Amino acid sequence: MQKPRVKTPCIGVCSTGIGDEVCRGCKRFTHEVIHWNSYSEAQKQVIDQRLGEFLSQCVRNKLRVTDQELLLWQIQVQQLRYPAQHDEYCWAYALIKAGGSQIEDPAGYGLELFAAFRDTPLPQLRLQIDEEFFTLSQAHYDRYMRVPDLFGSPAS
């Protein structure tokens, strides 16, 4: 069975046009944003997998999915778009992003916030996750993508 085509992760908030090496919206690297339409499906899948793994890691730092079936049911009942190809932690982020201000009891959605975040409103938690996701993407870019210039110093 063939994997579904990877959709662009663009959310229409691109910051690469103002000089960021990592987009603050979708977390892709500048060259990935520029060349997205020329990439093969395999190349797009590699990028999509990296983004999903990074987002999942950031969400896992804040909460635990206690009931994956309940979470998926709630997402489907709410008719929310979610990245089905990613894990339940990315689904949880999609739920929080779309309706965090409406959720009073995360347990009713199959989620348990870790003790350090139980008093954090979900919209604020979403912003924390997003910032951590950006930081992780930027660190990955700095470590693996930044190319030294001719004199051996990091590119600016």
pTM of the entire predicted model: 0.91
From residue 46, alpha-carbon distances to 6, 60, 110 in Å are: 10, 21, 29
For position 103, what pLDDT does the model report? 96
For position 151, what pLDDT does the model report? 58
Burial class for 45, CB neighbours closer than 10 Å (0-12, 13-18, 19+): middle
Domain boundaries, the chain: 50-143
For position 1, what pLDDT does the model report? 62
For position 4, what pLDDT does the model report? 80
CA 64/CA 22 separation, integer angstroms: 28
Where helices occur in the chain by DSSP H, the ranges are 30-35, 41-60, 68-77, 88-99, 122-140
Consecutive 10-residue averages of pLDDT for the chain (156 residues): 84 90 96 96 97 98 98 96 96 97 97 98 98 97 79 56
